[in-house]
């Protein structure tokens, strides 16, 4: 914040006044916004306008958690458009699979590997067998191979 011009600093501080963020999230927000401005050769005020951040922050909805999530999401998408698009595509693939609620897929967040961790919980031999059956059904779903390709 110290290296920013007064107007930019006030703009950022107005965000922090309206939405309480941890120090790590504040730093993330500042760095992403600075990167967007440098990459696109725009001012911080222009970035706020392009991302409709004022409208979001001035929304009368009192759910600050929802606002924080949306704020971070918009800035992340603007900073990393290709990564965001790839995540959306992957989420569409996962959503298209008919995964039993007892099965959990853990996918690498930043696509650093193709390895997928599959987990399930069982509290009885019956729930264990049921989870294995659900896993067996999952292997024959047509969209599953798309998680491991590309």
CA distances from 134 to 3, 43, 115, 128 (A): 55, 52, 20, 10
- pLDDT tens track for 45-66: 999 999 999 888 888 877 888 8
Give all strands (DSSP E) within the chain, no chain letters.
Answer: 103-106, 117-120
- pLDDT tens track for 104-127: 988 877 777 778 888 998 999 999
The pair of three-digit structure tokens given for residue 132, joined into one six-digit string: 């294995």
| 3-class secondary-structure state, position 104 | strand
- pLDDT tens track for 78-98: 999 999 998 898 888 888 888
Kindly write down the DSSP assignment for every residue of 55-77, as one continuous string.
Answer: HHHH-----HHHHHHHHHHHHHH
Which residues, 6+ apart, have CB-to-CB distance to 131 below 8 Å?
100, 102, 103, 120, 121, 122
What CA–CA distance (Å, rounded) separates 34 from 40? Answer: 10
Closest listed residue to residue 27, CA positions, set 80, 72, 84: 72
- pLDDT tens track for 6-25: 888 898 998 898 888 999 99
Share of the chain above pLDDT 70, in %: 98
């Amino acid at each position: 914040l110290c290296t920013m011009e007064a107007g930019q600093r006030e703009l950022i501080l107005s965000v922090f006044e309206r939405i309480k963020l941890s120090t790590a999230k504040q730093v993330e927000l500042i760095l992403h916004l600075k990167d967007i401005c440098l990459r696109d050769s725009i001012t911080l005020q222009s970035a706020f306008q392009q991302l409709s951040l004022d409208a979001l922050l001035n929304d009368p909805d009192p759910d600050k958690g929802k606002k924080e999530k949306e704020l971070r999401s918009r800035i992340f998408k603007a900073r990393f458009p290709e990564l965001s698009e790839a995540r959306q595509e992957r989420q569409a693939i996962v959503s298209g699979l008919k995964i039993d609620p007892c099965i959990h897929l853990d996918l690498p967040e930043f696509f650093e590997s193709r390895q997928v961790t599959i987990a399930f919980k069982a509290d009885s031999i019956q729930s264990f067998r049921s989870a294995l059956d659900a896993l067996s059904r999952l292997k024959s779903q047509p969209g599953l191979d798309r998680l491991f390709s590309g």
